Structure 1
Amino acid sequence: MSNLQSLHQSLVSSVSKKDYETASKQLSQLKIALLQHNALIPSADVSADILVGSREVLEIGAIVSIHLGDESAFLRYYAQLQPFYASQALNKSPSKNKNKIVGLYLLLLLTKNNIADFHTTIENIPDVEQDVFLGYPVTLERWLMEGSYDKVWLATKGSRVPSEEYAMFSEVLVGTIRHEIASCSEKAYASLPVSNAKQLLFLDSEGAVIEFAAERNWEVRDGRIYFPQEEADKASLSSQSIINYAIGYAQELENIV
């Protein structure tokens, strides 16, 4: 028991210092120790104190995985946490981090456009929009459904983001939206002024537009972006039409309903 407490304290210390590489190694040691105590799955044979510690370790593991950019590890930790969140033995010691972890999972689902699992997850969560961590991805999903991508972009900035980890997933989400809009723009326009593309793609500067254009092999000259010509004629669509078309969240939601 003392070894578990020592390892746990060392893990918390590493995370507080943002030393996530060291924390990852400590997590591996802790999970082995917890396995030896049969504490990686809730059981009536294991004391509630140890199970609470196990739950916290797994929650820290999920957070560390995000900082290390390991999506698969985050999903594994999320799956391992579900029996702990459902355990009646832990009802007297509810997790302070559960909503944060679940909210991060919801945000990850949005980045994957996995709307079915998103709605399945929130189906049985009461007052989901009242919680800062759960309400954030739910609000983003509603704006995505409406095509209000400008609101999504603003919500990923600064103090509007619930935590540092949310900011990481939010950035991925904006990147997904940006590339979808870019793909639609290629089909809808022969060319666009760089200044217009900056607004359309939610980029901070015209220099960022030029860098983005280079990534997609767009030609930039005389202040305009020229898209690859796949068809002889391209329809001229308004910027709002492009944005509304960019991601099929609304259609996806209708299919689910």
Structure 2
Amino acid sequence: MKPYMWSALTVHIHGRRNLDSVKAPFVAVANHSSHVDAPLIFGGLPRRLSKNLSAGAASDYFFQSWYKALPTTLFFNSFPVERQGRGHRRSLAGELLTEGVPLLIFPEGTRSRTGAMARFTPGAAALSISRNVPVLPIALVGAYAAMPYGANVPVPGRPHVHIVFGRPLRAAPGEIAHQFAERIHRYVVEMHDTTARAYGMPTQADFHRAVALRTAAAERGAQSRTEPVAPVLTEPEVQVPRPRLVEAPREAEAG
């Protein structure tokens, strides 16, 4: 998978030094806007961290048919994840961590349709806290433009994508999963936007602004189609009486 991705994309890797102290098991988390995300992370990590990495994949999408489940499991050592976070799936992820298997989880729960990053669900943060393993934050920049939602292959021209590895994080004393997830989210956004600005690429603020503008335009269009058309008021037609012709009396004839 890596040879294909690296030939189809121009890949830049940042933050390699942040990986020096990382050892399995850990929970890698990243923003998710494209089908190239997992291959980029697997290819960007050093072999010692990626060789046993297991990626969480939506069970209702990747595990409903063998032709999707087979390549997902073969290339990414995947385990099924319920988007709603059901208990037995979380238990499976916890067991993998206990066995020393590092995990890759996309905490938005699904790919972004617009490039705008959604809030992180607390599942990955909860696993980090309960199993006492670090979170490895990763920001992917340019992946949405390289292969947006609905595309089957990367766009032509070897578009630039950036993989940014952040510092490993752990929950602070007394920090609950929701709070930790929000802190991870802020850090990933910060890494994304710092890199995007440095290379002239859209920031998360740009993506969210574009979404807001499209939404407002769609709402205005819908409103204009549903508003009743006011009747055209015209002045009533005034019937002007036609003048009557009065015949002049005839003069008496002379005798």
Asked if TM exceeds 0.5, the reply is: no
**Higher relative contact order by CA 8 Å / sep ≥ 6: 1 or 2?**
2
Larger Rg: 2
- TM-score in terms of structure 1 length: 0.29
More strand by share: 2
More helix by share: 1
